Structure 1
Amino acid sequence: MSPIHIRALEPKDIPAVHALYSQPALQRNTLGLPYLPASVWEEKMAAGPGKHLLVATLEGRLVGQISLLVEEHRPRRRHVGSLGMGVDETHHGKGIGTRLLGAALELADDWLGLTRLELNVYSDNAAAIALYSRAGFEEEGRHRHYARRDGVLVDALTMARVRAN
């Protein structure tokens, strides 16, 4: 298998990111709605202060994306980052999520000096919870009836990874 390449998201990647998050598995396991136009993804993926957007490619094809968002406009929370990630449904279990998360953690720890990283994950997404747990994230709480999925309200977990300053 070719190596997974991690790099910054480029404007040319927007159509592939749109296609990625249009996959049924990603729509089911993220908060995204189906049938969103590419223009929504252009706005979401636009560069901005505190927005660090990475992609994973395999054989030149975009197979994953991770966002690390820092609340730079809130001085008392500048030490905090929040994460959101998606991996191509045909490439689950191939280490892409691990590589993306590792790159985001390196950016957060070694370059941005963040001491707290947060994320939300559906409580039944065992693979994602295991990935985050291996990376040092711990469950901090459960949000009951967090979001509607497949016509049913489902729970989500808040997980965080906290490093000493």
Structure 2
Amino acid sequence: MSDYRIRHAELDDAPALRELMADASVVRNTLQMPHPSLSHWQKNIQRLLGEGRYQLVCVDAAGKLLGRGGLWRLEGTRQSHGAGLGIAVRREWQGKGVGSALMAAMLDLADNWLGLQRIELEVYPDNAAAIALYRKFGFETEARLRAHSLRAGAYHDVMVMARLQEGCL
């Protein structure tokens, strides 16, 4: 039995999300800026909980936030069958099943409640643990975007990965 549970994110989660995203090991693998302010996350959580966006958090028995995952519908009528996906797990909980629990919950939502056919994400090629997690859940590499984003003073490539439902192609 796990020592955590998955639930929908709430406005009151802003301080815990700020703490999660302030960790250097977490922020270096996202497109977030380091040292986020609480006011940033108070505004950001409102946007993340908007129409067509789904935010899940993983919390321990005491309610401490261990990780977060999000799905957002792609914009545009002809892309409404797809969504983007993002995930972040506290450093001390990485490799302990939190990411898998969040992925399973998000993909259940995508497949069984939203009817999404395509889920896509971007990941840095040096993030081996994340790539392994995504592959475990059926994501495949589709492309590499060169010099995609600035991280720690240098431009880095990202890999685009996606998971398609059977029959989508």
1:19-52: CA deviation from partner (whole Å, max 9, x where unpaired):
0000011111111111221222222221211010
CA distance in 1, matches of 2:164, 2:122: 15
Counterpart residue identity of residue 25, structure 2: A
Q: Once structures 1 and 2 are overlaid, which stretch shifts more, 108-117 or 57-66?
A: 57-66
Which position in structure 2 is the counterpart of 1:56?
Answer: 58
By how many angstroms is 1:91 displaced?
0.9
Match of 1:134 among 122, 133, 136: 136
What root-mean-square deviation, in Å, do the aligned CA atoms of Structure 1 and Structure 2 show?
1.3
Counterparts of 2:20 and 2:128, CA distance in 1: 21
Which amino acid letter does the alignment assign opposite residue 24 of structure 2? P
* Structure 2 residue identity aligned to 1:69: W
Matched positions, count: 164
Amino acid at match of 1:61: K
Shift of residue 2, structure 1, vs aligned partner: 4.9
Which residue of 123, 126, 130 maps to 1:124? 126
Counterpart residue type for residue 58 of structure 2:
A
Q: Within 2, Cα distance between the matches of 1:91 and 1:7?
A: 17
Q: Within 2, Cα distance between the matches of 1:144 and 1:77?
A: 24
2:96 paired residue number: 94
Aligned to 1:109: 111
Match of 1:151 in 2: 153
Structure 2 CA distance for partners of 1:102 and 1:2, relative to 1, 3 Å: closer
The list of structure 1 runs, each at least 4 consecutive aligned residues, that deviate by more than 3 angstroms after superposition, is none
- Give the aligned partner of residue 27 of structure 1: 27
- Residue among 141, 161, 164 paired with 2:163: 161
1:68 counterpart (66, 71, 75): 71
Asked if structure 1 preserves the Cα contact closer than 8 Å seen for 2:146 and 2:158, the reply is: yes
- Look up the match of 1:14: 14
Query: Residue 86 of structure 2 corresponds to which residue in structure 1?
Result: 84
User: Which 5+ residue runs of structure 1 have no aligned equivalent?
Assistant: none
Unpaired segments of 5 or more residues in structure 2?
Answer: none
